[in-house]
Amino acid sequence: MKFGGTSVGTAESLRRVARIVCDAAGTHRVVVIASAVGGVTDRLVAAGERLSTHDLDVPAFVAWVRRRHQELASAVLAEASQSRYERVLDAGCAALERLLHTIERAGPSEALMDELLAVGERLSVPLVALLLGDAGLAASPVDAAPLVRTDERFGEAGVDLAATRRLIQAWHRLLPAGHVPVVTGFIGSTADGRTTTLGRGGSDYSAALFASALHAERLERWTDVDGLYTDDPRTNRQATRLAFLVLEEAWAWNHAGRLGMHRKALDPLVEAQVPVQVRSTLAPERPGTLILPAGHPLRAVATAS
């Protein structure tokens, strides 16, 4: 189950996420992948750019990052979890401040920029895990860096698919049943342990890597739109929802930039033949869009309806 930035971006949608995951965890073994809180990655990118022209007020920026997360935490977490999250923010913000000063001094290398961009997911995931814990699940935050092995093309790293599959499978085998891991989207690391990012919007790709490595029954991609549309339904009222898509066709459309997902997001799913369901946290009762591999048994139902 992958939740994007808007799904974890307001108190109200975080509460929805908790309900949706609790429901699913009642009947399925779930892995949650989360993006950074909405707006945070954009601000991190901008901060990196402004550092290079010595145009960033570092303490003010760190204070903004802290406030953005703290406001959500105080709205959705129980008191004990709030103080635990305080400590996450203490450590995370101190590290962020050090990193920004390093970039200021040394100049913005691509490797340091990826370390900076990864802060968003590294702060959102502990929040979501604590929230799910408050909701009664055995949830824990997981940093995907040691699980997603990449090359050194910082900013849009290429994934070593075979190594990543092995790492994810070995990790998942050790998870106690009933445990719900909440994993950072978007980030990976090089063989020597340096943080990389998979390109903007990369959490979709992360989710696909986990779903395919684990041979998931399906990948649920949760956003604020109830499926894929022929056009953006927020601006075009003629746009119609696509109920079913064939995964292999969707893959080609996505590579042509027509589905608004990370370019590689469907690659691992085609290979492992894992269906995708695109759903909305605002309307979880709606079926959204189901993307089925051409050879999937449910295709018969899809074609009949």
CB of 71 to Mg ion, least distance (A): 18
Beta bridge partners of residue 141, listed in sequence order: 182
Which residue among 5, 188, 268, 288 contacts ligand ASP (CB under 6 A)? 5
Shortest Å distance, C-beta 229 to ligand ASP: 19
What is the amino acid identity at position 246? V
To Mg ion, the closest distance from the beta carbon of 249 in angstroms equals 26
Report, in Å, the least distance between residue 27 CB and ligand ASP.
Answer: 27
Interaction between residue 200 and ligand ASP (CB under 6 A): yes
Report the residue from 36, 112, 129, 276 that binds ligand ASP according to the rule CB under 6 A.
Answer: 36
Q: Which is nearer to Mg ion, 171 or 186 (CB)?
A: 186
Provide, rounded to whole angstroms, the least separation between the CB of residue 206 and ligand ASP. 8
Residues 3-22 contacting Mg ion, CB under 5 A: 5
Q: Is 203 in the site for ligand ASP (CB under 6 A)?
A: yes
Instruction: Please pick, from the candidates 92, 185, 188, 288, the single residue that binds ligand ASP as defined by CB under 6 A.
Output: 185
Q: 99 and 122 in contact (C-beta within 8 Å)?
A: no
**Closest CB to ligand ASP among residues 22, 45:** 45
Give residue number: closest CB to ligand ASP. 203
Q: Are strands 195-197 and 219-223 parallel, antiparallel or unpaired?
A: unpaired
Decide whether 93 or 207 has the Cβ nearer to ligand ASP: 207
Does 186 bind ligand ASP (CB under 6 A)? Our answer is yes
- State the distance between the two ends of the chain, measured CA to CA, in whole angstroms: 26
Measured CA to CA, the distance from residue 289 to residue 200 in angstroms comes to: 23
In this structure, are residues 207 and 33 in contact, taking their beta carbons and an 8 Å threshold?
Answer: yes
d(CA 202, CA 207): 9
CB of 145 to Mg ion, least distance (A): 17
How many residues sit in the footprint of ligand ASP (CB under 6 A)? 12
Interface positions with Mg ion (CB under 5 A): 5, 35, 41
Interface positions with ligand ASP (CB under 6 A): 4-5, 35-36, 41, 120, 185-186, 200-203
